[in-house]
Amino acid sequence: MSKNRKVDNKSAIKKTSQDIPEELQEIEEDLTNYNPEIFKGVPQKKKVEILHSLSVVSIQHRSHSGPLPDPETLIKYNSVIPNGADRIMKMAENQQAHRISIENRVVASQSAQSKLGQVFGLIIGLVGIGCGTFLAATGEPTIGGIIAGGTVVSLVSVFVIGKSAQRKSLEE
């Protein structure tokens, strides 16, 4: 007499899991959930060996973002290199001080360049308007008006374009 019995996959796993140490059962469940036929045809002894080797092999992936390592890594540096964590902190502090000094020099340079540009613009404007006025007073009003007017229009357009570019740069 043969009886047809439906074997539940999970109950079969539980029956064979009794021979597997408790700490390895979670690994087996994860693998079996991932691929139910992964241990199909594998003898129980070999299955325990595979699970044990998987529990021994520990794969870790760490990700860190920032200028300094995480505290655990700093502690490890300290154990390998005398005062390693302190040296790394000093290096980060020196780098930050260096960056700040460069930024200060850049800002000061840009400010000086801007002032110099304004001074030269004033000189060019005064010379252009002065020459145009001189020419208009000496009997050449058309040429004097073109030179003086052209100077004023040029300086105003450079100022407006410069402010527009500066505003765009600040937005970026």
Query: Would you call 70 helix, strand, or coil by DSSP?
Result: coil
* Sequence ranges of the domains in the chain: 9-56, 71-171
- Taken in order 84, 88, 90, 91, the sign of the CA dihedral is positive
Confidence of residue 61 (pLDDT cuts 50, 70, 90): low
pTM given for the model:
0.48
Q: How far apart are the first and last CA of the chain?
A: 84
User: Across all residues in the chain, what is the average pLDDT?
Assistant: 80
Q: Model confidence over 147-172: pLDDT tens digits?
A: 999 999 998 888 888 888 888 888 88
Residues 6+ apart with CB under 8 A from 85: 74, 75, 77, 78
- In order of 22, 26, 34, 39, 42, the CA distances from 46 in angstroms are 16, 17, 19, 10, 7
The stretch 57-83 carries a mean pLDDT of 78
